Structures are given as C-alpha cells and as structure tokens.
C-alpha cells in the first residue's frame, strides 16, 4: 500500500509542495510579524554562495555538509545586514539589497570560474522543478521515497518542534523584545535560531521548488493569515491551510492549463492573499466598508452635541 502511495506521482508532487509550504509558514509567520520577511529572499539567494564554497572545500554536492554550509551562508547574510543597519548609515531595506545580490553574484561567479563541470545550476536554485521530485529517490526500508519528501519532512518536523518548544519565548521576543530581554530571555539568539531554520528550509526546498516558490510560501500565506486573525496560533493554522490549498489547486490548474506547476502554486498563494484582503472577516476590504457605513449611520442617528467634555475630577 505504501509503495503505491510513493509511486503516485501527483500525490508526491502535491505532498512535497504542502510540506514546503508548511515548513515555510512555520518560520515565515514570525518573520512577517517582525517585519523581516524579505530576509527569506536574501537567504534563499545567498545559499548559492554557501553551496559553491562547500563544494570547493569538500567536493560534495549534497548531504549534511552542504546543508550546514548553505545555512551558514544565510546566517552570514543576516549578520552582514545587521552590521549595515547598526551602522545607522543604511536603512534596513537598502542593507538587504546590498548584501544578498553581492553574495549571490559571488556564488554565480565562482560557479562560472571553478564549477563549470559540476551540476550546480543557478537557474535550478532559483526556479527548481517540483514536477520532477518523484525522479530523485532514496531507499527507506523496502520503499523508494522521493528525496525531497524526506528532506522537507525532516525540516517541517524540526520547525514544528522549535515553534512548539519555544512558543512563548518566540511570541514575547517578537512582540516585545525589550521585555523579553529584561526577563532574562535572549531574543537575539532566538532570532538567529529562527533564521538558521529558515536557511535550512531554503536549502531543503531549493532543489525541489526553487528559491522563488520558497519565498512565496514564506511570505504570502503568513501575510494572508495575518489579515484573517489576531491570534498567533490561528495564524499558523490558517497559513498552513493556505499553503496546502495552494499546492493542491496549483497542481491541478497547472496540469489543466499546461503551465509551470511551481509557478501556479505561487500564483495561488497570491490568489488566497487577494481573497483574504477583500473578504477578511475583520480587516478585509468589505468588512472595513461595512464598518465605515455603520459608523456614518451612527453619527447621523446620534450626532455629537458639540460641547466639549468636562474633564473627570478625582
């Protein structure tokens, strides 16, 4: 029975997409709330530099060493960005725009100079091809399992464990870093641990879906969930559901219209964001219009007296 499931190509493609979306949403929710979501874009591009450096040092194209090297490249990106921001001479968005193009360009240059004969393709890193995940398999017991399914399953589990174990600390550090520091927590350490997991997720995802779809899954579902609820745990639930729905609907629409599967999955995240923006129960466009109309009716029905209110005496 399991063999039949692993041989089901559409199921494997949608499952890998759902795992990428879930893992990305778990870390992306905190990045969106911190206003640092574009760091995921910087990390996803700079991992090319880490992959090339690891290959030049070890001549390994895959495995834990590559994941660690690429993750460290992501941390280097964040560190250099923070250095520029703390210098107070460069704004946050400009610092991100300065660092990750430099590292990505350095990685592409090293590929052209020293790794022409190695299967390290910058185009694959950016765009990937989720439709071919079922071709690259490994053996687990008696079954042939897509490699991307295993790697993304591991990253989803790690991200979920991190969020569950440090939920209160992450919540406090995200909304009030000064209070978290005063209470003895280390918000900086938590933030870098979160970015380390983001880098690991990017490395696990780029071979299957590429950096572009990874960034879409990090930012868009969490942003859509932000429009639907004020509760953090519900943001995780809604973001995960949006990621899964985007993977499933994106696959079937891509097959029906004969277009890129990964591209259509990214488009569907945007569609769900648009729906949340328009029809959100509290912050949606329709809800705001209804609220303003009610306020106008209340003003017309009960106009203010025009007299200044007397200050309360204690």
**Residue 160: inside a domain:** yes
Confidence of residue 91 (pLDDT cuts 50, 70, 90): confident
**Residue 256: inside a domain:** no
Question: For all residues of the chain together, what is the average pLDDT?
Answer: 86
Residues whose CB is less than 8 angstroms from the CB of residue 176 and which lie 6 or more positions away in sequence, other chains included: none
Q: DSSP alpha helices (H): ranges in 258-284?
A: 261-279
Q: What is the pLDDT of residue 150?
A: 92
**Residue 237: inside a domain:** no
Tell me if residue 137 falls in helix, strand or coil: strand
Rounded distance between C-alpha atoms, residue 75 and residue 89, angstroms:
21
Q: Whats the size of the chain, residue-wise?
A: 314
Rounded distance between C-alpha atoms, residue 180 and residue 148, angstroms:
37
Q: What is the pLDDT of residue 313?
A: 46
**Residue 231: inside a domain:** no
Confidence of residue 314 (pLDDT cuts 50, 70, 90): very low
Over residues 37-54, the mean pLDDT reads 85
First to last CA, the chain: 76
- Residue range of the domain that includes 98: 1-212
With a cut of 70, say whether residue 276 has pLDDT above it.
yes
Q: What is the CATH number of the domain that holds 30?
A: 1.10.3470.10
DSSP count for the chain of H helices, then E strands: 14, 2
**Residue 223: inside a domain:** no
Confidence of residue 159 (pLDDT cuts 50, 70, 90): very high
| Integer angstrom CA distances of residue 7 from 3, 13, 156, 162, 186 | 6, 11, 22, 32, 46
Q: What predicted TM-score, i.e. pTM, was given to this entire model?
A: 0.87
**Residue 25: inside a domain:** yes
Measured from the Cβ of residue 86, the count of other Cβ atoms closer than 10 Å reads 10
What are 189-222's pLDDT values in tens digits? Answer: 999 899 889 988 988 887 678 888 899 999 999 9
Tell me if residue 2 falls in helix, strand or coil: helix
**Residue 255: inside a domain:** no
Rounded distance between C-alpha atoms, residue 311 and residue 299, angstroms:
23
Domain count, the chain: 1
Higher pLDDT, 303 or 27: 27
Q: DSSP alpha helices (H): ranges in 115-186?
A: 122-127, 147-165, 167-175, 177-182
Rounded distance between C-alpha atoms, residue 314 and residue 312, angstroms:
7
Task: Give the residues across from 143 on adjacent strands.
Answer: 140
Find the range with the poorest average confidence among 19-23, 140-144, 171-175: 140-144
Sign of CA dihedral 294, 297, 299, 301: negative
Q: What is the pLDDT of residue 246?
A: 97
**Residue 91: inside a domain:** yes
Over residues 114-141, the mean pLDDT reads 74
């Amino acid at each position: 029975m399991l063999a039949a499931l692993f041989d089901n190509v559409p199921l494997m493609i949608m499952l890998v997409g759902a795992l990428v979306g879930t893992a990305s949403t778990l870390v992306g929710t905190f990045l969106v709330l911190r206003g640092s979501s574009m760091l995921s874009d910087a990390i996803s591009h700079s991992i090319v530099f880490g992959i090339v450096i690891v290959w030049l040092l070890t001549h390994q194209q895959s495995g834990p060493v590559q994941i660690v090297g690429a993750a460290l490249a992501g941390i280097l990106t964040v560190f250099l960005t923070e250095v520029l921001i703390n210098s107070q001479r460069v704004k946050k968005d400009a610092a991100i725009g300065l660092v990750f193009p430099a590292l990505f360009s350095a990685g592409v240059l090293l590929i052209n100079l020293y790794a022409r004969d190695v299967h390290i393709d910058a185009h694959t890193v950016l765009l990937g091809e989720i439709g071919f995940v079922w071709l690259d398999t490994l053996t687990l017991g008696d079954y042939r399992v897509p490699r991307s399914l295993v790697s993304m399953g591991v990253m989803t589990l790690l991200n979920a464990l991190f969020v569950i174990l440090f939920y209160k600390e992450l919540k406090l550090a995200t909304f009030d870093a000064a209070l978290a520091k005063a209470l003895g927590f280390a918000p900086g350490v938590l933030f870098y641990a979160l970015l380390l997991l983001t880098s690991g997720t990017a490395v696990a995802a780029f071979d299957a879906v590429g950096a572009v779809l990874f960034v879409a899954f990090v930012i868009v579902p969490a942003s859509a969930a932000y429009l639907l609820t004020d509760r953090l745990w519900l943001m995780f639930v809604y973001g995960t559901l949006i990621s899964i729905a985007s993977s499933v609907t994106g696959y079937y629409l891509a097959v029906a219209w004969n277009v890129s599967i990964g591209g259509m999955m990214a488009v569907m995240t945007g569609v769900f964001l648009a729906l949340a923006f328009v029809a959100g129960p509290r912050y949606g466009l329709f809800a705001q219009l209804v609220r303003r109309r009610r306020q106008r009716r209340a003003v017309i029905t009960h106009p203010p007296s025009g007299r200044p209110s007397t200050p309360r005496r204690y």
